[in-house]
Every structure is written in C-alpha cells, then in structure tokens.
Structure 1
C-alpha cells in the first residue's frame, strides 16, 4: 500500500507566543480534496529521569496552571535556546531544576505528546552517575519553579504511583515506565544521548 503524501498548500498563523503558535494548515487529502487542520506548533522539550546509584529517582512537584493543580514530574524543559543540543538541554534542566549533574546520559524514549492537535515532541533521557551541583553554582528558581518541591522515590514506588493514577504528566509516565523496563532488561535497549530523532 502506498502512503498518501499530505501536502500543505497554505498556512495561516492564528496566534504566536514564546513557546507555541497556533496555525491552520490547508492539507491535501486522499481523493484530491483539501481540508483545514488546526494545531499547535511547539518548540519541543526534553525530560530527564535522574536515576541514583541506590535505584531511586528524583522528581519535582510543580504547579501547572493549565490543569490547575500540582503534578509530579521529571526535571524537564523547553528546547528554546538556539543551537543547543537536546542532550545539553537535558543537562541544563537537570542542573537548574534538581541541582544534579549527570556523568552518563542515554535516550530512554521519544514521544509525540498529543499528535491530534500538536507537533510537540519530547525526548526523555536517563541520567546516571549523578553528582550534586555545588551550592554556589545553583540556579535561582523563579515563578512556579520557586514553589517546586524536589523529592526522591524508589523507581518501583514511582511506577506504582503511575499505575495508581498519582502521576499523570505524560513525559513522567513514559519516562518512569521506560526506565523500569530498561533496568529490567539490563539497559540493553538504551540509545546513545546523540541518537537521531525518529522521523
């Protein structure tokens, strides 16, 4: 079976902001007609599962206004610095959000978070061989980050929180489940930190 090539014949930007824009594309459909598709164009993001030598993971509890509540999440952030490598973005976020430096970084999982309405893609890394950022070099957290709690959980406890519905952030769910599976498989399925993105 030959896949149809969906071509964009026109694009109309409805909103433009620092993190995302909203656009309407006119797209060719099988059979020749054209249809309008609205979606969010996102800068992309990374997440990090910081796995300590004792098998625990560090997570953050952060207020998310869109859902109006606090969520347990991985250290994560936007790919919003021009020319910054994804692995470097992950290292930066790890240091800024939980004061950790990774001696080893591998790719756990890549996600298209909500492909029905957004092109947001998140790469989740596994960070190991962790050390602490010296106190005098730590990042000053502001806004929601100033209210952020940082806590360590045993990886299996965190997986249990996912299955109990206590962790609902998509990148955190995927990252924790992928980390547990990768651990159980002896880390054989991990990809290098510079592995190309799919697609």
Structure 2
C-alpha cells in the first residue's frame, strides 16, 4: 500500500469531517395506499421510482416522532423507568420519553413534560444529546434525546393520568458507568437508552461542552413529507 490517505483496503472513498452527514432526499412516489390506521401509527404502501427508472414497493409506518431524556444527577446516575413493552414481551429499562403528538408543542417542552410526567422531575440544564431514526427501514419515526442535569422534584402536570403500562412502571437510578457496561453486554436494549447512554458517556469526556443547545434546529422534522 502507498502512503496516500485516499487509498483504502476496500477501495472506497474516505469522507472528510464536513461530509459526515445524512442527506435529505426523496425519490418520486407514484402511488400511496393507506393499509391500516392505528392509535399512533399508520401503515402505508407506496410505489417509488428509483433513479434507474425502476418501480419498487415499500411498506412502512407513519409516526409522529418522539423525545427522550437522559436525566443525570450530581452523582452521575441516570434516571430510568422500567416499563413493559408488549410487542417484544419484555419489561425494559428506558429513559423517560414520549410521543410528539401534542399539536404545535415545542420539542423541548415535550421532553420537559415527559420528565415531569414519568419521573416527577425537572431540570435547570438542558442540552441536545443525539438525534436518531429508530428504524428507518420500516418507520419514519425520528427521535431527539436530550441531556437534563441539575435535577429537582416537581409535581406531575395537571390533567396527567397514569394508565396502561405506566400503572406498572417504576422509577430507578443507575450509575452511568454501570449502564454503559450493561448496554455493551446486551442487557439493556431500548434504542433510546442505548443511544442516549453511550452518547452521554462520550459527551461526559469534555464536560458536555460539545453538545448542542436545547433549542438547536432539528432539520429532519422540517423535511417530513
């Protein structure tokens, strides 16, 4: 091998730092059929034209999106809830989280509401931790995970009613280092927990200075079809 950094074992180009970004793109939709409507999601079947001129069919779920909160206390313990999730038949360790299903609600306000509803906590320091598509091959769901620090107790918002799986949900604390180990060992599998915990561990190394402000733009939400 030569010393040219543009040459790789795979023969693939090496992207520069400024090129490391997902690209907004939409192939033409020739037909859309609504197959089923649920309480939260809608399944659609679409015929899509590829750049080569072929027609392919894709089925996926429309979803309002969600926010999650990694709430970190002064002893570097993470606030988690244990909640039963019927599709996977597990009681999962999860960060407080919820749907973006309140009309015109600011994303940060939604995260603050979920933290108060599920953990009866508020925070004085909010940052954007990480954004993600949860399962981009099967749903349009996008999620923003916040880091919340300087925690203090609050009452649940007026009108909030605990129901369904949340009746069996409890709040627990876990040291960040132990959670990182549990994620890497495959014992904690909720996608918001996995992404949020690992991102928190990385961000902690520079004192969270590299994190975006809580009101940072979220372009994915603006480009939703």
1:128 aligns with 2:149: yes
Residue 177 of structure 1 is matched in structure 2 by: 198
Q: Distance in 2 between matches of 1:4 and 1:102?
A: 36
2:47 to 22, 26, 47: 26
- Check conservation: 1:26, 1:37, Cα contact below 8 A: yes
Structure-to-structure mapping, 1:139-178, within 5 angstroms: 139-178=160-199
1:191 to 205, 209, 212: 212
1:11 to 32, 50, 58: 32
Report how far residue 139 of structure 1 moved: 4.9
Q: Distance in 1 between matches of 2:102 and 2:33?
A: 25
Number of equivalent positions: 197
> Which sections of structure 2, spanning at least 5 residues, go unmatched?
1-23, 221-225
- Check conservation: 2:116, 2:155, Cα contact below 8 A: no
- Check conservation: 1:100, 1:131, Cα contact below 8 A: yes
Query: What SS class does the counterpart of residue 60 from structure 1 fall into?
Result: strand
Q: Distance in 1 between matches of 2:166 and 2:174?
A: 20
- Check conservation: 1:12, 1:25, Cα contact below 8 A: yes
Report which structure shows greater RCO (CA 8 Å, sep ≥6): 1
The answer to which structure has the higher strand fraction is 1
- Note the aligned Cα RMSD (angstroms): 1.9
Where does structure 1 differ by over 6 angstroms across 4 or more consecutive aligned residues?
Answer: 135-138
Report how far residue 138 of structure 1 moved: 9.6
Report how far residue 33 of structure 1 moved: 2.1
Query: What SS class does the counterpart of residue 22 from structure 1 fall into?
Result: strand
Residue 71 of structure 2 is matched in structure 1 by: 50
> TM-score by structure 2 length?
0.83
Report how far residue 28 of structure 1 moved: 0.9
1:101 aligns with 2:146: no
> TM-score by structure 1 length?
0.93
> Which sections of structure 1, spanning at least 5 residues, go unmatched?
none
2:133 to 94, 112, 116: 112
